[in-house]
Amino acid sequence: MAVDDSIEEPTSGVQKKRVPERTVNGLPTMYCFETCPFCFKVKALLGSRDIKYSKVEVDPTFKTQLKWSDWGKVPIFVDVDGTQVNDSNHILHYIDSTGANSFPRAGEDPEQDRWMDFSNQVLGKSIVAVIYTSYRTSVQALDYVTKVDNFSFGSRLINKWIGGFIMRMVGKSRAKMFELPPRENLQYQLDVMSEGIQGKFFGKQEPNGADYANFGILRSMQGLYGFDIVQNHPIISGWYNGMQDHSGV
């Protein structure tokens, strides 16, 4: 069968085509969901660096505000010159490289790379297994998410109840990825993560990409079921508070 290679798959990272018309108020612009863990990574870095930016809250049901983009996930970052960057860890590197340039680039520091990958591959999935550990905790989370995210009034209730059911299924499938039950697994993953924190941060004296990546994931859990595991962790709780002070997020 012939393959149409004129159709390009959407890719992560910096895009060739610039989209200056997608910036808002002449500022760097982030397309996000308010409660999205990957978006919190970027908000934390922007906050730490005191970078002014515009936020476009995407409607999670129809994603109307992303129709212009091949990449259909949040976060998407559009710089003032129209440079579009997709995918949270790529966005962290882009923002740092065009500003303070204070943490190693991808491929330069295997430890930072390892913990940045960990944020998506392990930590993100571990928190989902905990937050959506039962139908009750799932509906509780969706009640919050549908109030805070940009859902239209009409779709809020449907998303709370049906979304709660769907996310319970997602939670179950995430839980299957780990040997331990969800709460014990998160506790264990935080223990593992503590090994990467050298001094105050993964980046020693100052946060690096691994700090923003993992903090963002955990920040999205604040106020939800299971956050007590983060708050009570002997190492992670102090690091988390330090990141919160640093970023103001």
- Please report how close the Cβ of residue 153 comes to ligand GSH at its closest, in angstroms: 21
Residues 79-98, interacting with ligand GSH (CB under 6 A): 87-89
Nearer to ligand GSH, 87 or 109 (CB): 87
- Please report how close the Cβ of residue 181 comes to ligand GSH at its closest, in angstroms: 24
- Please report how close the Cβ of residue 114 comes to ligand GSH at its closest, in angstroms: 16
| Residue 30, CA distances (Å) to 51, 79, 87, 148 in order | 12, 9, 11, 17
- Please report how close the Cβ of residue 234 comes to ligand GSH at its closest, in angstroms: 28
**Pairing, β 54-57 against β 84-86:** unpaired
**CA 142 – CA 135 distance, rounded (Å):** 10
Nearer to ligand GSH, 83 or 187 (CB): 83
- Please report how close the Cβ of residue 67 comes to ligand GSH at its closest, in angstroms: 13
Nearer to ligand GSH, 10 or 181 (CB): 10
Residue 151 Rama label (left phi>0; alpha psi -120 to 50; beta): beta
Nearer to ligand GSH, 37 or 163 (CB): 37
> How many chain residues are in contact with ligand GSH, going by CB under 6 A?
12
Nearer to ligand GSH, 207 or 216 (CB): 216
- Please report how close the Cβ of residue 124 comes to ligand GSH at its closest, in angstroms: 8
| Residue 173, CA distances (Å) to 57, 126, 141, 166, 188 in order | 28, 11, 17, 11, 19
Those residues with Cβ within 8 angstroms of residue 48's Cβ, 6 or more apart along the chain or in another chain: 207, 212, 246, 247, 248
The one-letter amino acid at 26: G
Which of 120, 138, 159, 185 touches ligand GSH by CB under 6 A? 120
The answer to whether the CB of 96 falls within 8 A of the CB of 102 is yes
**CA 191 – CA 189 distance, rounded (Å):** 5
| Residue 1, CA distances (Å) to 4, 6, 8 in order | 10, 15, 18
Nearer to ligand GSH, 156 or 200 (CB): 156
Q: What is the dihedral of CA 153, 155, 157, 161, to 10 degrees?
A: -160
Residue 215 touching ligand GSH (CB under 6 A): no
**CA 133 – CA 126 distance, rounded (Å):** 11
Residues 1-40, interacting with ligand GSH (CB under 6 A): 33, 36-38
Contact letters (x/-) for ligand GSH, 42-81, by CB under 6 A?
A: ------------------------------xxxx------
Q: Which residues bind ligand GSH (CB under 6 A)?
A: 33, 36-38, 72-75, 87-89, 120
